[in-house]
C-alpha cells in the first residue's frame, strides 16, 4: 500500500514538473526539503516494482493473509501439484499411466501386520526407483513413512536456476512408482509462485539474486530515512512543534465518487489482509478521536 500510494504521489509530482526527466532522476542544485523530496521520489519510482514484488510474494508466508492467498489459489486452480502417497488406492506404473483402480497394492494386504514384522526398506533402492522415473537432480530429499499404507516420497529440492522440484511417490515394498509430479507440467500460476518465492528468498539466481535483494534493502532503508527527514524539514519554524500534519478539513476536498471507491478498496484490502485492516481501523479511530479532542480544546 505504501508503494502504491508513493507511486500516486510520484505521478502527481511528475505532472507538475516542467522537466519530466526530473521525475526519474534526483535533481541537482537543490537544497533542504526539495533535495530530499527529489531523491526520495526518484529512487522510490525505480524501487516500486521490487517493493511490490516483495510484498506480493512475502504475503504468502503471513498467518492470516497467507491463508486467504491459499484459498484464492485453490479457487483459481493455482495450487502446486502434489503426489498421492496412498498405497491402498490406484497406482501408476513407471511410465506414469494409471494402474487398475480395483487392484490394491501389496501394502493393502499388510495393513494389519505388526510394525516389527515389516521388511527392512532400503533407502538406496527407493532412490534408485525414483531415479528411473523423473528424479535426476543431486539436490533432493527422501521422506520416509511410518505408516505401512503410505508411500515414501523422493522430492527434488533444486530451487536455483534451472528449477528442479519434481517428485515421485515410491511403494517401499515393491520399489515401484505409484505417482509422480513434474515441474514441467505444473500450471503456469504454480510455476510463477515457485519462481517468485525463490526470487524473494534469493535462491533462484544465487549470488546475483542475493546482491540485488541487498541493494533493494539498502535503498528501502534510504527511502525510510528520507521520508522521516522530509517530515522533519517541513516542521513549522520557530516553534517546538513536530513535523506538520495536513489538516483534517482537507479531506472535504476529496470528491464523493473518490471517497466511495476509496472506502470499497479499503474494506476489500482490510478483509484480505486482516491485520492491516484492523490496524487501519484503529489508526482511523484514534486520529478522529484526537481531532475531536483538539477541537474541544
Task: Give yes or no: residues 9 and 63 share one domain.
Answer: yes
Q: Is 277 within the bounds of a domain? A: yes
Decide if 90 is inside a domain. no
Percent of the chain with pLDDT over 90: 58
pLDDT at 207 over 90: yes
pTM listed for this prediction: 0.76
Task: Give the up-direction half-sphere exposure of residue 131: CA atoms within 13 A in the CB hemisphere.
Answer: 9
Edge to edge, the sheet with strand 140-143 lists 140-143, 152-156, 167-171, 176-181
Residues 6+ positions from 3 with CB-CB distance below 8 Å: 44, 47, 48, 51, 52, 55
Domain region containing 237? 1-78+206-243
Average pLDDT (205-232) is 95
Statement: residue 111 has pLDDT above 90:
no
Q: Same structural domain for residues 127 and 168?
A: yes
> pLDDT tier at 244 (50, 70, 90 boundaries)?
low
289: Cβ–Cβ under 8 A, 6 or more apart, which residues? none
Higher-pLDDT residue of 13, 77: 13
Give the number of other Cβ atoms within 10 Å of residue 113's Cβ.
12
The answer as to whether 282 is a domain residue is: yes
CA angle 271–68–201, rounded 5-degree value:
120
CA atoms of 193 and 213, how far apart (whole Å): 18
**Residue 98: inside a domain:** no
Distant-in-sequence, close-in-space partners of 201: CB < 8 Å, separation ≥ 6: none
Where do the H-state alpha helices sit in 202-273?
Answer: 206-233, 256-272
Does residue 223 sit within a domain? Answer: yes
Residue 241 backbone zone (phi > 0: left; psi -120 to 50: alpha; other: beta): beta
Q: Say if residue 73 is in the same domain as residue 210.
A: yes
Cell 480544546 locates to: 297
Number of domains in the chain: 3
What integer pLDDT is reported at residue 89 of this predicted model? 63
Q: pLDDT tens digit string along 23-36?
A: 999 998 899 999 99
Amino acid at each position: 500500500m505504501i508503494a502504491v500510494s508513493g507511486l500516486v504521489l510520484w505521478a502527481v509530482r511528475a505532472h507538475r514538473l516542467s522537466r519530466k526527466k526530473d521525475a526519474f532522476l534526483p535533481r541537482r542544485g537543490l537544497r533542504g526539503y526539495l533535495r530530499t523530496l527529489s531523491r526520495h521520489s526518484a529512487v522510490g519510482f525505480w524501487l516500486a516494482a521490487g517493493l511490490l514484488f516483495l510484498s506480493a510474494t512475502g504475503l504468502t508466508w503471513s498467518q492470516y493473509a497467507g491463508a486467504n492467498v491459499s484459498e484464492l489459489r485453490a479457487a483459481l486452480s493455482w495450487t502446486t501439484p502434489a503426489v498421492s502417497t496412498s498405497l491402498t488406492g490406484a497406482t501408476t506404473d513407471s511410465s506414469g499411466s494409471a494402474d487398475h483402480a480395483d487392484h490394491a497394492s501389496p501394502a493393502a494386504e499388510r495393513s494389519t501386520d505388526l510394525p516389527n514384522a515389516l521388511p527392512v526398506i532400503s533407502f538406496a533402492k527407493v532412490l534408485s526407483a525414483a531415479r528411473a522415473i523423473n528424479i535426476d537432480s543431486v539436490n533432493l530429499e527422501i521422506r520416509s513413512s511410518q505408516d505401512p499404507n503410505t508411500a515414501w516420497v523422493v522430492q527434488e529440492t533444486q530451487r536455483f536456476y534451472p528449477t528442479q522440484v519434481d517428485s515421485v511417490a515410491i511403494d517401499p515394498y515393491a520399489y515401484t512408482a505409484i505417482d509422480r509430479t513434474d515441474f514441467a507440467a505444473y500450471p503456469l500460476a504454480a510455476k510463477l509462485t515457485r519462481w517468485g518465492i525463490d526470487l524473494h528468498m534469493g535462491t533462484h539466481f544465487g549470488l546475483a539474486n542475493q546482491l540485488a535483494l541487498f541493494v533493494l534493502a539498502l535503498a528501502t532503508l534510504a527511502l525510510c530515512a528520507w521520508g522521516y527527514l522530509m517530515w522533519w524539514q517541513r516542521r513549522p519554524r520557530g516553534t517546538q512543534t513536530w513535523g506538520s500534519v495536513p489538516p483534517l478539513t482537507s479531506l472535504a476536498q476529496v470528491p464523493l465518487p473518490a471517497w466511495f471507491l476509496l472506502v470499497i478498496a479499503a474494506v476489500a484490502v482490510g478483509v484480505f489482509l486482516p491485520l492491516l485492516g484492523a490496524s487501519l481501523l484503529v489508526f482511523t479511530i484514534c486520529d478522529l478521536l484526537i481531532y475531536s479532542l483538539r477541537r474541544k480544546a
